[in-house]
Amino acid sequence: MPESDDLAVFRRAVNLAAGESEQKWEDSRRLLEAAVFPSIVEQLVQRLQAAPLALQVKAALADMLGQGQARRVQDLNGAALKMLTGCPPSKAFRSLCLYFGLVQGRASKWPAANLRSEEVVRVLQGLANPFDLLLTAPVTTVLDLGAGDLSFAGELVDRYLPTLFAHQQELVLHAVDRLDPRSKLGGPLHPGRDRIAQLQSRPGLAFRFYGNRDMFDLHELDEAGHLAARYTLATCWAPATPTFAYEPTRLSDAVIQEDLRRSKGEFRQVRYEGESALEVQHGERALIFPSWKFDIRGPVALLNLMARRGLVGVLGAVDSQVFWEILAHLLEDARYRPQNQPFNPENLPIVFGDIYQRLTQLKLGETISLAQLGVLRFCLPANELTRTDQSAVGFREVWIRRGAVFPGVPASSTARQFLHMREESPPWCLTLVPEDRQP
Ligand SMILES: C[S@@+](CC[C@H](N)C(=O)[O-])C[C@H]1O[C@@H](n2cnc3c(N)ncnc32)[C@H](O)[C@@H]1O
């Protein structure tokens, strides 16, 4: 029988999962032991039921696993295992366990935040600012993605730590940024050593900064138990552009590259003082950035990540280009996602129609629930960047607020800079509450 594309895609994904971590691969050996094997098969059967896989692949897996009664790997159909993974039985079984997330890394020492989304929405409705959730939630943990100079981290701590400390509640704050602290590129986005040291020494605060870390590649930190599985709040201030300004599932690579060249100028990879860098020709000047500056990840990956990592996601100081691309993926109707048409000031009012009018009429500081403007997307497309966890995500509630900085709400230095940028249109702040996850 000719091999279907679905099967080939699945097999590649399984092999990718198997090769992701040497530690996990070693750990997967013990799943073959007689004492645990039957319960692992049962868990695979359960995971398979909820997995969004192609029907043919699902059927082949279900057939191979049977009723979950196998006692040893030899009881499973070796030919089916080979067809599904390309591997001999033991290796195939271990690979499938990794694919379905049955191999845990070291247990995290940080508590996982866990509240029903309905409850989160109810509490947030009564709060002037989403970060005030830290004053009532049983777990008080924050993950700051693309944290830059840690200015937001500093403001958050100053605003909430005294109260939490007075109530003997520890604040856990983890910050991640892709900039390598040793790099000469990145300028003011590098956090000062003093700021890191200060945050690390505050009583009542468990602060960690992870530099040189891509937010879409956190598995090493997870395996080492450095991160919480889920945070009370996951936040991203001034999400990087162009990283999140173009969505690869909507725009082809050729369209993105052309738009980048048109709007930013010619660019190329170069060496700069011993490190890889991106050189962008801006008029007469050659600007130098980290080599990955123009890696395009898109809002779907960011939204997926935030939904999986936070009970609440807050995207602050989102510039116009990133905002409209995000919005296109939060709404159910596909007409907001025209294929291969980069958004621009001319087509935005046409694509978003009334929604565009309502949002651009919002006054600074005003908030609106997106559900009042259109039907929220039921579930975001799965994204290979967040592939290891298979369940689909969507949002129960999305609030949009106009402006960079709001009274009493901690903000980042980039958000504060918007106040001085007269030509830049005011940015946006989104508070997102993910739906409860399917088991
Ligand atoms: C516009 S700056 C904003 C910095 C800070 N959040 C603020 O508001 O001042 C974007 C930040 O995202 C970081 N970044 C970009 N892509 C990233 C990725 N894939 N993973 C982690 N950080 C990333 C950049 O290094 C940069 O520090």
3-state helix, strand, coil in the chain (%, to 5): 40, 15, 40
CB of 153 within 6 A of ligand 1: the answer is no
CB of 180 within 6 A of ligand 1: the answer is no
CA gap 68, 74 in Å, rounded: 13
| Minimal-distance CA residue to ligand 1 atom 9 | 414
| Minimal-distance CA residue to ligand 1 atom 3 | 238
If you search the block for the tokens 């997102």, which residue do you land on? 432
Residue 144 CA, closest ligand 1 atom number: 6
CA gap 210, 208 in Å, rounded: 6
| Minimal-distance CA residue to ligand 1 atom 19 | 214
Opening angle at CA 45, ends 40 and 47, nearest 5: 90
Task: Give the residue range(s) of CATH 3.40.50 domains in the chain.
Answer: 117-245+296-434
CA gap 398, 129 in Å, rounded: 14
| Integer CA distances (angstroms), 47 to 7, 86, 100, 299, 334, in order | 18, 21, 7, 27, 30
CB of 385 within 6 A of ligand 1: the answer is no
Q: What's the distance, CA 57 to chain centroid?
A: 27
Complete DSSP assignment for 380-415: PPP-GGGTTS-S---EEEEEEEESS--TT----HHH
- The answer to whether the beta carbons of residues 181 and 150 sit under 8 Å apart is no
Q: What's the distance, CA 127 to chain centroid?
A: 25
CA gap 194, 179 in Å, rounded: 18
CB of 218 within 6 A of ligand 1: the answer is no
Q: What is the pLDDT of residue 1?
A: 47
Ligand 1 mean position, distance from CA 176 (Å): 8
Ligand 1 mean position, distance from CA 3 (Å): 42
Q: What is the pLDDT of residue 385?
A: 57
- The answer to whether the beta carbons of residues 280 and 287 sit under 8 Å apart is yes
Name the β-bridge partners of 206. 172
CA gap 168, 162 in Å, rounded: 10
- The answer to whether the beta carbons of residues 238 and 194 sit under 8 Å apart is no
CB of 411 within 6 A of ligand 1: the answer is no
- The answer to whether the beta carbons of residues 428 and 402 sit under 8 Å apart is yes
Q: What is the pLDDT of residue 312?
A: 98
Structure tokens at 143: 């993950």
CA atoms within 13 A on the CB side of 193: 1
What are phi and psi for residue 328, nearest 5 degrees? -55, -30
Q: What is the pLDDT of residue 62?
A: 93
Q: What is the pLDDT of residue 383?
A: 64
| Minimal-distance CA residue to ligand 1 atom 11 | 146
Ligand 1 mean position, distance from CA 401 (Å): 21
If you search the block for the tokens 């651009």, which residue do you land on? 360
Structure tokens at 436: 């409860």
Gyration radius of the chain over CA positions: 23
CATH 1.25.40 fits 117-245+296-434, yes or no: no
Ligand 1 mean position, distance from CA 171 (Å): 22
Ligand 1 mean position, distance from CA 116 (Å): 30
- The answer to whether the beta carbons of residues 112 and 230 sit under 8 Å apart is yes
CB of 143 within 6 A of ligand 1: the answer is no
Q: What is the pLDDT of residue 439?
A: 40
Cis preceding-peptide flag for 38 (omega within 30 of 0) = no
CB of 148 within 6 A of ligand 1: the answer is yes
Eight-class DSSP state of 244: T
Q: What is the pLDDT of residue 106?
A: 73
Ligand 1 mean position, distance from CA 354 (Å): 32
Structure tokens at 235: 């936040």
| Minimal-distance CA residue to ligand 1 atom 18 | 214
Closest Cα partner for 359 from 310, 307, 426?
A: 426
Q: What is the pLDDT of residue 69?
A: 81
| Minimal-distance CA residue to ligand 1 atom 10 | 240
Q: What is the pLDDT of residue 24?
A: 81
Ligand 1 mean position, distance from CA 26 (Å): 34
Q: Indicate the top mutation candidate among 178, 235, 315, 409 to test ligand 1's pocket, ranked by most ligand atoms within 8 A of CB.
A: 178
Closest Cα partner for 253 from 351, 340, 383?
A: 340
Which pLDDT tens digits describe the chain residue by residue (439 residues)?
A: 456 788 998 998 898 888 877 778 888 888 898 888 988 898 898 889 888 888 999 999 999 998 878 899 999 999 999 999 999 999 999 999 999 988 877 778 899 999 999 999 999 999 999 999 999 999 999 999 999 999 999 999 999 999 999 999 999 999 999 999 999 998 899 999 999 999 999 999 999 999 999 999 998 898 888 999 899 999 999 999 999 999 999 999 999 999 999 999 999 999 999 999 999 998 889 999 999 999 999 999 999 999 999 999 999 999 999 999 999 999 999 999 999 999 999 999 999 999 999 999 999 999 999 999 999 998 888 765 554 445 568 999 999 999 999 999 999 999 999 888 777 799 999 999 999 865 4
Residue 316 CA, closest ligand 1 atom number: 8
Q: What is the pLDDT of residue 145?
A: 98
Strands (E), 94-170: 141-145
